Amino acid sequence: MDGKKKPRKWLQLETSERRCQICQHLCYLSMVVQENENVVFCLECALRHVEKQKSCRGLKMMYRYDEEQIISLVNQICGKVSGKNGSIENCISKPTPKRGPRKRATVDVPSSRLSSSSSSKSASS
């Protein structure tokens, strides 16, 4: 084995199991799972949990689509909309040059990185 972690597949959970344990938000695109206690958090509640616990140990971020897939979906939708009204001005033509698409299905974020992002409003799933 080359030492790289294999990407995690999206959890095959029932809809009720993909709801945040705190706010009951349906976590369709992304969620944070506390694996040892089988707890699901939406991204906002996970951030609050990490700020309160001062640790992200045991938490795994799961997401359904990588950046390339999201861009492809947006472009498909734009194509269908443009067929109806002839406008495609809000479509995404290619990934932003700042960074490439992520290939992993989980991301471990050090707590030091989370503390700097707590002042800005995080994007919800």
Distance CA 47, CA 61 (A): 11
Q: Which residues pair with 41 in a beta bridge?
A: 32
pLDDT tens for residues 86-124?
Answer: 555 656 665 555 555 555 445 566 666 554 444 444 444
Give the per-residue pLDDT at 22: 93
Smallest Cα–Cα separation from 103: which of 7, 2, 5, 26? 7
Q: What residues pair up with 31 in beta bridges, in sequence order? A: 62
CATH code 2.10.110 region(s) in the chain: 7-66+104-119
Q: Which amino acid is at 99?
A: R
Antiparallel, parallel or unpaired: β 106-107 and 39-41: unpaired
Two structure tokens written together for 13: 């959970």
pTM: 0.51
Query: What number of H helices and E strands is found in the chain?
Result: 3, 4
Question: Which one is predicted more confidently, 7 or 31?
Answer: 31
Question: Residues 20-45: what's their mean pLDDT?
Answer: 91
First to last CA, the chain: 34
pLDDT in tens, 61-87: 988 888 898 899 889 999 888 777 655
CATH fold for domain 7-66+104-119: Cysteine Rich Protein (2.10.110)
